[in-house]
Amino acid sequence: MPSEALAKALARLEAELADLEARLEEERKALEALSPLPIYWRRVRCGKERCRKCPHGPYPYLKVKKGGRWRWKYLGKGWQPPEGFVRPREFLEALARYRALLRRREALLERLAEAERALS
Ligand SMILES: [Zn+2]
């Protein structure tokens, strides 16, 4: 691909990334509004060597007390809202959307890295 076309592709990917970031931010706000408990957004390292996408996330967590100690509870797949969540179904739907957006961003970051490598 000529470098001009590559630069254009890169710009398009960057615009798409900005759009995704905005939607992720919206979903984070929606999740916070539906949760009776504060949600903590944590970026985590996957531990893979030379991972270009680290840290990942941010992922949603709750702080829960277990055996007298505070622990992080990851709101991942299979997690069910406990009592107190007024619209648990809506919350789970927003959670699924958020996770799908995160996956899309990871894929996009990969394509961006490839385009940047090709340009340099
Ligand atoms: Zn990683």
Q: How far is the CA of 33 from the centre of ligand 1 (A)?
A: 29
Q: Which residues pair with 65 in a beta bridge?
A: 70
Q: How far is the CA of 43 from the centre of ligand 1 (A)?
A: 10
Cα–Cα distances in angstroms (integers) from residue 19 to residues 15, 16, 76, in the given order: 6, 5, 24
Q: How many CA atoms lie within 13 A of 14 on its CB side?
A: 8
Q: How far is the CA of 23 from the centre of ligand 1 (A)?
A: 22
The two structure tokens encoding residue 43: 């970026």
pLDDT of res. 94: 95
The band of 25, judged by pLDDT with boundaries at 50, 70 and 90, is very high
Q: How far is the CA of 49 from the centre of ligand 1 (A)?
A: 8
Average pLDDT, the chain: 92
Residue 1: is its pLDDT beyond 70? no
Q: How far is the CA of 44 from the centre of ligand 1 (A)?
A: 8
Q: How far is the CA of 106 from the centre of ligand 1 (A)?
A: 10
Q: Specify burial of residue 43 (Cβ count, 10 A radius: 0-12, 13-18, 19+).
A: exposed
Which helix (H) or strand (E) element contains residue 69? Answer: strand 69-74
Q: How far is the CA of 67 from the centre of ligand 1 (A)?
A: 31
pLDDT of res. 91: 96
Residue 23: is its pLDDT beyond 80? yes
Report d(CA 3, CA 62) in Å as an integer.
46
CA angle 92/54/117 to nearest 5° reads: 120
Residue 24: is its pLDDT beyond 90? yes
Cα–Cα distances in angstroms (integers) from residue 120 to residues 7, 12, 104, in the given order: 11, 17, 24
